[in-house]
Chain A
Amino acid sequence: MAMATAPSRAEVLSLLRSFLQAARKFSDYNIREYAARRAIDGFRGNKALSDPSAIAAAFADGMSQLEVAKRQAAVYSSYAPKTKSVMEVKMSPPERYD
């Protein structure tokens, strides 16, 4: 099997950008924040990789994770609850005890 060539810097940045776009599409507050944060931390953690095959492997892994993220963002949106998380409500009114 031919060794995959390492992706270019532009390709890596494009993958990260696609990740962040996919993360924004999640309707769930916690998953959305996690996806963006984990993508950035993951890419930052792999920045120091120098071996081309390791870089290629990480890139391939990133591509398949991106597919997962896109699919799941669609699933989560299809079943999004009507009420958002309190974290997303801009000004929570004081609680009432009816």
Chain B
Amino acid sequence: MAAAAASRLLRRALTPAVARRRFSTAAVAAETPPSPLPSATGEEDAGMVSMKGVRISGRPLYLDMQATTPVDPRVLDAMLPFYLSRFGNPHSRTHLYGWESESAVEAARASVAALVAADPKEIFFTSGATESNNISVKGLMRFHRARKRHVVTTQTEHKCVLDSCRHLQQEGFEVTYLPVRPDGLVDLDHLADAIRPDTGLVSVMAVNNEIGVVQPLEEIGRLCREKGAVFHTDAAQALGKIPIDVEKMGIGLMSLSGHKIYGPKGVGALYVRRRPRVRIEPQMNGGGQERGIRSGTVPTPLVVGMGAACEIAMKEMDYDSRRISALQERLLNGIRAKLDGVVVNGSLEHRYPGNLNLSFAFVEGESLLMGLKEVAVSSGSACTSASLEPSYVLRALGVDEDMAHTSIRFGIGRFTTEAEIDKAIELTVRQVEKLREMSPLYEMVKEGIDIKSIQWAQH
């Protein structure tokens, strides 16, 4: 009896997505009250969205998880009470509002620490990974300005690390920007050679936001420990996605971000090792909150959200990672089955599966993106500059300029469905084929002409 009910239940739940979708859309249409909010996205009539000269039939499917991730409903559920009745300042020592707020902040701190195998006393909340990177790079070097004058980092770091290093150069420090191999990984021998006795900091990001490459953190940590330099890693894209252990990886400083792990925007954390003690100069002065490392009222709802996101990530890491790997394979195989001239930027083995950066030969990047308006993806250059300059990360990999221009970054996440992957494949293939059909360069290649040997006539 129960077995029949179980199988009926599972069969109904596992009916093809289309059938289920029809039912669920009808149910939602019947139940959802009309939205009272003013529309911020241009005209929205009859379900069409019109913005910046493009009309699409619905909200695009979201495949840009490296830019940001949607807030998990479980995280929102944890945050809401702190916007409603428990709105106290965690630094108010004299009443219940302050005590309950502080208690929530400390619980969140413990959750973040648990995810990286650290002690809660080593976690400090900031406004995001950018701030944590700034504190790590500038704060550490300025504290040790008497004896440590050199920083080693890579050419593929996030802009905030590179910019902080440039700032330090203006203050008189020396910085070595290590090149990376064509697969995006840092060469450990070059790194060992670059570290000097007066090197204070080695900064190598754990997972690259543009190409998804995972650096050999344990080896780098070991090298830094041997040579007496502090190892800082920007783990914004890595937290909750690959296992991080600050002991095994010899990490001295680490930047973490809330909105990359299905948490709220505007919050991040900084890990600062206590044994052996890493000393840094605070960059935000004020009332001495967060043990003087970062002054300013700790934003309880955001911090609670980050803590909840870390707790969920700890439980879901295996499940999500298996699913996302399968989806990445599906995406790559689906595109490769229909298109040639597809290049994966960055190492395929040392990669976080949720980040797939592809270049399509003989296709112009901006026109490809213009045709993919029903898929929310990012191109190589968009993150870092307003100009049309190809991404510095791809340039560091040695990717040709024309291939760098056509790079698309697909970001797969916890909430991505197979149907979305299939639709993304269909739309990408259709657009690339359309553009290649129009491309005279592609015609020449098909005829066997080597593009690089062409002498272009001057008019």
Partner of B58, one of A27, A32, A86: A86
Task: Please determine whether B2 and A85 come into contact, CB atoms closer than 8 angstroms.
Answer: no
Task: Please determine whether B5 and A13 come into contact, CB atoms closer than 8 angstroms.
Answer: yes
**Cβ of A95 < 8 Å from any Cβ of B?**
yes
Near A by CB (< 8 A), chain B positions 212-246 give none
Task: Please determine whether B53 and A85 come into contact, CB atoms closer than 8 angstroms.
Answer: no
Residues of A within 8 A of B (CB): 9-10, 13, 16-17, 20, 24-27, 30-36, 38, 40-41, 65, 68-69, 71-72, 75-89, 92-93, 95-98
Partner of B77, one of A9, A68, A79, A86: A68
Say whether, besides A83-B47, A87-B423, A95-B373, A31 and B415 are in contact (CB < 8 Å).
yes
Say whether, besides A13-B9, A93-B57, A95-B371, A27 and B32 are in contact (CB < 8 Å).
yes
Question: Which residues does chain A contribute within 8 Å of B2, judged by CB atoms?
Answer: 9-10, 13
Which DSSP category, helix, strand, loop or mixed, fits chain B's interface? mixed
Task: Please determine whether B374 and A86 come into contact, CB atoms closer than 8 angstroms.
Answer: yes
- Shortest CB distance B65–A (Å): 11
- Shortest CB distance B369–A (Å): 13
Residue of A with least CB distance to B420 = A87
What's the Cα separation between A89 and B6 when bound, in Å?
Answer: 31
Residue of B with least CB distance to A76 = B73
Say whether, besides A24-B24, A40-B10, A30 and B59 are in contact (CB < 8 Å).
no
**Cβ of B55 < 8 Å from any Cβ of A?**
yes
Question: Which residues does chain A contribute within 8 Å of B35, judged by CB atoms?
Answer: 79-82
Question: Which residues does chain A contribute within 8 Å of B50, judged by CB atoms?
Answer: 98
Contact with A along B253-279 (1 / 0, CB 8 A): 000000000000000000000000000
**Cβ of B457 < 8 Å from any Cβ of A?**
no
Near A by CB (< 8 A), chain B positions 270-325 give 319
**Cβ of B451 < 8 Å from any Cβ of A?**
no
**Cβ of B440 < 8 Å from any Cβ of A?**
no
Task: Please determine whether B416 and A88 come into contact, CB atoms closer than 8 angstroms.
Answer: no
Question: Which residues does chain B contribute within 8 Å of A97, judged by CB atoms?
Answer: 53-54, 370
**Cβ of B13 < 8 Å from any Cβ of A?**
yes
**Cβ of B435 < 8 Å from any Cβ of A?**
no
**Cβ of B76 < 8 Å from any Cβ of A?**
yes
- Shortest CB distance A62–B (Å): 13
Task: Please determine whether A87 and B419 come into contact, CB atoms closer than 8 angstroms.
Answer: yes
- Shortest CB distance A71–B (Å): 6
Question: Which residues does chain A contribute within 8 Å of B58, judged by CB atoms?
Answer: 83-89, 92
- Shortest CB distance B398–A (Å): 35
Say whether, besides A81-B59, A87-B61, A93-B57, A34 and B76 are in contact (CB < 8 Å).
no
What's the Cα separation between A26 and B329 when bound, in Å?
Answer: 29
What's the Cα separation between A85 and B80 when bound, in Å?
Answer: 25
Question: Which residues does chain A contribute within 8 Å of B337, judged by CB atoms?
Answer: none
- Shortest CB distance B71–A (Å): 10
- Shortest CB distance A60–B (Å): 15
Task: Please determine whether A80 and B56 come into contact, CB atoms closer than 8 angstroms.
Answer: no
Question: Which residues does chain A contribute within 8 Å of B13, judged by CB atoms?
Answer: 20, 36, 40
Task: Please determine whether B53 and A88 come into contact, CB atoms closer than 8 angstroms.
Answer: no
**Cβ of B25 < 8 Å from any Cβ of A?**
yes
Question: Which residues does chain B contribute within 8 Å of A79, judged by CB atoms?
Answer: 35, 37
What are 19 of the A-B contact pairs (CB < 8 Å)? A9-B2, A9-B6, A13-B2, A20-B9, A38-B319, A72-B73, A72-B77, A75-B80, A81-B59, A83-B59, A84-B58, A85-B59, A86-B374, A87-B61, A87-B419, A93-B57, A96-B55, A97-B370, A98-B50
Task: Please determine whether B9 and A77 come into contact, CB atoms closer than 8 angstroms.
Answer: no
Question: Which residues does chain A contribute within 8 Å of B31, judged by CB atoms?
Answer: 25, 77
- Shortest CB distance B416–A (Å): 7
**Cβ of B144 < 8 Å from any Cβ of A?**
no
Task: Please determine whether B6 and A32 come into contact, CB atoms closer than 8 angstroms.
Answer: no
Task: Please determine whether B373 and A17 come into contact, CB atoms closer than 8 angstroms.
Answer: no
Q: 5 closest Cβ contacts across the A-B interface? A: A72-B73, A30-B415, A86-B58, A89-B58, A92-B57
**Cβ of B60 < 8 Å from any Cβ of A?**
yes
Question: Which residues does chain B contribute within 8 Å of A25, judged by CB atoms?
Answer: 27-28, 31
Q: Apart from A82-B44, A97-B53, what 19 extra A-B contacts exist at CB < 8 Å?
A: A10-B2, A13-B2, A13-B5, A25-B27, A30-B417, A31-B70, A32-B24, A38-B319, A71-B77, A78-B33, A79-B37, A80-B32, A81-B41, A81-B44, A82-B47, A84-B59, A85-B58, A87-B58, A93-B57
- Shortest CB distance B370–A (Å): 8
**Cβ of B146 < 8 Å from any Cβ of A?**
no
Q: Which of A9, A13, A88 has the most CB of B within 10 A?
A: A88
Question: Which residues does chain A contribute within 8 Å of B9, judged by CB atoms?
Answer: 13, 16-17, 20
What's the Cα separation between A56 and B6 when bound, in Å?
Answer: 19
**Cβ of B14 < 8 Å from any Cβ of A?**
yes
Say whether, besides A27-B32, A95-B54, A69 and B73 are in contact (CB < 8 Å).
yes
Question: Which residues does chain A contribute within 8 Å of B49, judged by CB atoms?
Answer: 83
What's the Cα separation between A10 and B324 when bound, in Å?
Answer: 33
